Structure 1
Amino acid sequence: MAPPASSQREARPTSPESAPEILLVEDNLVNQKVLYKQLQRLGCTVHVANHGLEALEFIQKTRFWQPNHGSGLNLSVVLMDWEMPVMDGLTCTKRLRDLEQQHMITEHLKVIATTANARKEQVQMALAAGVVGSRAID
């Protein structure tokens, strides 16, 4: 069964209060569906954004966004694709880190890069952008 057709989708596990909430930022619909289903099977609540700009808009609905005063969605981590239209993942991550510095995002938001581009230079670019960690697989 495919996730709903909206740009921000949710899958609710049986115990939502203990389930990690993940923002999956991915433009490829096949990858979205595969990752969505895998994360859902693990009991995660999954929200989907199609590109970095949608991700930034979604973050404004979370407890991390300063005007929300700690209320809002309790996001655990962002899984961020690197290459997307409108706003790529590294640009989005840099913007998130800038918003943290400006105190518009009230605490460190974990961002994990998801990509097939894992050459050493690309890993260094991701780390410089502020992703949580990145490891090239040989």
Structure 2
Amino acid sequence: MSYKSWFDAHADKHKKIVDKLVAKGFSKEQIIEYFDFDNMVQHESDFCPLYEDNKKCHDMSKLNCYLCACPNFRFKDDGIEKQEDKTQYSFCSIDSKDGNQGIYGDKIHQDCSKCTVPHHKSYVEKNFDLDWKKTMKECEWKN
């Protein structure tokens, strides 16, 4: 699956949940709270494949799934740049100290597995928009 196809499919899943919550009259705070990992596992089991095993993507006690990706992640499916005999496909725009570039054969991808930035409730509150794609608009690299 390409980054773009995951991105678009995820945006659709996210929108369905948010639209349902807005229709029920949920406030911004209630929507953010709804996306708490424990609640999502219980009520939105199809949102993430890890939910089936009650597994978190990051080791943190209070994980919020609202962003389920990071507004600082950049990707380009046909490659961002060549580095010797390898092609870079993604990177972190803030160069998080907890992220790194993983090399997989001739491909370089951002490894965000140790970074928890977008899963803190305070970060979600600061970057909140009902439209997930609007928050994530810079992710698809255009240069």
Q: TM class by shorter-chain length?
A: under 0.3
Higher-Rg member (1/2): 2
Q: Which has the higher contact order (CA 8 A, sep 6+)?
A: 2
TM-score, normalising length: structure 2: 0.22
What's the TM-score once normalised by structure 1's chain length? 0.22
